[in-house]
A and B are shown apart, each in its own frame.
Chain A
Amino acid sequence: MRPDSRLLSTRRALSAIPLLALLSGLACSSVDRTPATGSDPAPGPMTPPEASEAGGAPGSDPSPSSSSGLTEDEILAIPPEVGSETDLLDIGAKSLEELNTEGHLKDVQFDYDSADLSPPMRATIEENAAWLSRYPSVRILVEGHCDERGTVEYNLALGEERARAVRDYLRDLGVDSGRMRIISYGKEFPLDPGHNETAWRRNRRAHLEIVAK
């Protein structure tokens, strides 16, 4: 389940474009197996798998061969956990609440008074991007949150900046921006009500909420 994030981020630094192609190619090839393995075709909410972010507008039809430009090295560089995850979740059978509580998308933890993305934060976002690319029908709300030590007013803008930073990087990774909305909650809704360093660290976050599947 957990890909080697260091590897991903290293690859991103070396060549971002092939990685995008890699992610989208993965998504397509994985999604293509759905009809074979899925006991429930989930007709309703499951949009056609071809409408992945790689193709942009819905209705376009990118073929699975879009990953054919990969070299063998690049294919080998695919983290095994990702590559071996052949059994897709049947997200049509789960409620939004279940999907969100199961924690498929990871919070991005920020530094104090900062919306900058460090390498570990980028790795978390890349992990999220990979998951989103496997479920192209999923739409998300990127929530920006802050810890209680900042002021109410500035934190609203800071939370917005955090949400925007995560949204922009997800977009750079190939997640269609039409699937994402951002919102800032400032410090109004802390995840951890505590008043200590641990709570503050947990509360300085961008949370990715699944709002449609």
Chain B
Amino acid sequence: MKPPRPPRLVLAALGAALATGVAAGFVPVPGIARPVTGPGVPAEAAGGTPEVGVTSLAPPSATAGAQDAGDWYLDITRPGAPVRMAIPDFRLAPPEASESEGRAGETDAAPADPLSDAGLVVAEEAAASASVASAVLWGDIEYAGVYRMLPKRFYRIAEAGSPEGVLDYYQWESIGADILVSGTLRIDGEMLVAEVRMHAVRAQENVFGRRYTAARGAARTLAHRIADDILQHAGNYQGVARTRIAFSTNRSGPRSKEIYLMDYDGHGQRPVTANGSLNITPSWSPDGRALSYISYREGAPALYLAFLYQGRGEKLVGDFQSFTPAWSPDGRWIAFTSNRDGQSEIYLAAVDGAELRRLTDNRAIDVAPAWSPNGRTIAFTSDRTGAPQIYTMDRDGLNLRRVSFEGSWNDSPAWSPSRQHSEIAYASRIERRPFDIVVHDFETRQTRQLTTGRGSNESPSWAPNGLHIAFASNRAGDDQVFTMHRDGSNLKQLTREGSNTTPRWGNPPANPR
């Protein structure tokens, strides 16, 4: 019927390699957080550090598969419409006999017999893992918002038309798929093994094939890693599936707030601090391995660091009151507010404790520093003109500029980490109305409003890719953490228990060990 279209498969080199670290769960920090176990807490929160092992799969044909060395991405376009992606659920694959036999020392190699009781239990667990992994992978890709997700009910048409066990690209093209991501999953000993292939449907090529391994019970972690890989290689998109959000919550007791972590999608909410005091305003280290935050555990609010993978915490600045820390992009400094010289001023403290510098000096309040992505400029809030407004200054305190001119109260600036957009988000109030999240674009000098008067919306924080914003809102009663796209769409509520404030979106942890 249709004239054959030329393949539009282009492999483009990535300019900069994305983080290559493996995904990892959270290790409770002794002395900082209690180990958490119990229903609803994922295995990775309870102790282990599941890694996702990745190996390339042999290409099914001689024409593809060679791209796996190096960074590349597909350049598939569909003029006037988003590219359509089909992601069928993971199919269950039987354990590979050869690999099982490799684990000669293990006594529980029994699942080799699928009809034994143990074999049925494993089959049930594999099915549950496949179900979780399918839902998580779908959710992660959909969250990116760059693909039109083809509904799963169409897939049976394509599958029914294909010969048994054979991938018929024309069938998938006929239901409108541009990209097909298919995978199998099995339990092999103590490991979860997924094999995933991505196909450029119109080009009729398998462009991506990888085997992923993770600990049993870590299906979410496994799927997050797969999702980020798919997004990177399907369209050079930096996914956020392995990112995490830190926040402050009062859920653990009256008159106390603890620092918690959660995955970007709200799953796996778990404590970092557990001291029954007031612990607030977390800020991530750029490598996603540590947090700085303010704790009142010794009375006065002091600046603490928590090294999540070393089980270690320390007080960095303890005398006088300290507030609103912000870790520098190069990882070496914490900008924060202190009253050590009488008024609220902004300081820099070296993370190794070797140095302390004051950046502001006036009678007004200076608070809430936020670094530019290149670390040369700091945005902050000051009421030096009578009302809180957003300013920027160089990291030595010079070259002061006012950013916000509208509104009677502007606070909590957050600088977009995006390479494409030079913009800053903050909470803004007109007269005495509730706060809304606004974004100021430095290039166009325009300010756009992302939330529209539903409750008070505060403390914006950018996703590492600069395309989503987390914030706290009391639109549903207590303060809760939400995320939205940078244009204000795709709103999602992540927390529901207690009051949850000051979300801070962190990079995925690189090299967790």
Residues in A lying within 8 Å of B, measured CB to CB: 112-113, 148-154, 156-158, 160-161, 164, 181-186, 188-189
Question: A3 → chain B, closest Cβ, in Å?
Answer: 31
Q: List 9 A-B contacts (CB under 8 A).
A: A113-B409, A149-B456, A151-B411, A154-B388, A156-B280, A164-B342, A183-B321, A184-B321, A186-B280
The CA-CA distance from A148 to B278 in the complex, in Å, is 17
Contact A157 B323 (CB under 8 A): yes
> Is B381 an interface residue, CB under 8 A from the partner?
yes
Contact B344 A152 (CB under 8 A): no
The CA-CA distance from A148 to B477 in the complex, in Å, is 13
Write out the residue numbers on chain B whose beta carbons fall within 8 Å of the beta carbon of A160.
Answer: 321, 323, 339, 344
Knowing A160-B339, A183-B300, say if A189 contacts B411 (CB, 8 Å): no
Q: Which of A149, A151, A185 contacts B412 (CB 8 A)?
A: A151
The digit string for B60-80, where 1 denotes a CB below 8 A from any CB of A, is 000000000000000000000
Contact A157 B458 (CB under 8 A): no
Contact A154 B432 (CB under 8 A): no
Q: Which of B447-465 contact A (CB under 8 A)?
A: 456, 458-459
> Is B328 an interface residue, CB under 8 A from the partner?
no
Knowing A113-B409, A149-B456, say if A154 contacts B381 (CB, 8 Å): yes
Contact A154 B368 (CB under 8 A): yes
The residue in chain A whose Cβ has the minimal distance to the Cβ of B477 is A195
Q: Which of A151, A164, A188 contacts B339 (CB 8 A)?
A: A164
Contact A183 B299 (CB under 8 A): yes
The residue in chain B whose Cβ has the minimal distance to the Cβ of A168 is B342
Q: Count residues of chain B with CB under 8 A from any CB of chain A.
A: 39
Write out the residue numbers on chain B whose beta carbons fall within 8 Å of the beta carbon of A151.
Answer: 368, 388, 409, 411-412, 427, 435, 458-459
The CA-CA distance from A181 to B296 in the complex, in Å, is 14
Contact A188 B278 (CB under 8 A): yes
Question: B25 → chain A, closest Cβ, in Å?
Answer: 29
The CA-CA distance from A188 to B412 in the complex, in Å, is 16
Contact A113 B381 (CB under 8 A): no
The CA-CA distance from A148 to B472 in the complex, in Å, is 13
The CA-CA distance from A185 to B472 in the complex, in Å, is 18
Contact B459 A188 (CB under 8 A): no
Contact A161 B344 (CB under 8 A): yes
Contact A153 B411 (CB under 8 A): yes
Residues in B lying within 8 Å of A, measured CB to CB: 255, 257, 278, 280-281, 296, 299-301, 321, 323-324, 337, 339, 342-344, 365-368, 381, 383, 387-388, 409, 411-412, 427, 432, 434-435, 456, 458-459, 472, 474, 501-502
Write out the residue numbers on chain A whose beta carbons fall within 8 Å of the beta carbon of B255.
Answer: 189
The CA-CA distance from A154 to B411 in the complex, in Å, is 7
Knowing A157-B344, A157-B367, A188-B280, say if A152 contacts B321 (CB, 8 Å): no
Contact B301 A183 (CB under 8 A): yes
Q: Which of A152, A182, A185 contacts B458 (CB 8 A)?
A: A152
Seed contacts A151-B409, A152-B459, A183-B296; 4 additional CB < 8 Å A-B pairs? A151-B368, A153-B412, A184-B301, A185-B278
Contact A157 B365 (CB under 8 A): yes
The CA-CA distance from A147 to B82 in the complex, in Å, is 46
The CA-CA distance from A184 to B281 in the complex, in Å, is 14
Q: Which of B257, B323, B383, B472 contacts A156 (CB 8 A)?
A: B323
Write out the residue numbers on chain A whose beta carbons fall within 8 Å of the beta carbon of B324.
Answer: 153, 156
The CA-CA distance from A188 to B388 in the complex, in Å, is 19
The residue in chain B whose Cβ has the minimal distance to the Cβ of A112 is B432
Contact B365 A154 (CB under 8 A): yes
The CA-CA distance from A137 to B281 in the complex, in Å, is 36
Question: B475 → chain A, closest Cβ, in Å?
Answer: 12
Residue from the set A157, A161, A182, A183 with the largest chain B CB neighbour count within 10 Å:
A157
The CA-CA distance from A34 to B1 in the complex, in Å, is 108
Contact A188 B257 (CB under 8 A): yes
Contact B368 A153 (CB under 8 A): yes
Question: B43 → chain A, closest Cβ, in Å?
Answer: 33
Knowing A164-B339, A188-B257, say if A153 contacts B459 (CB, 8 Å): yes
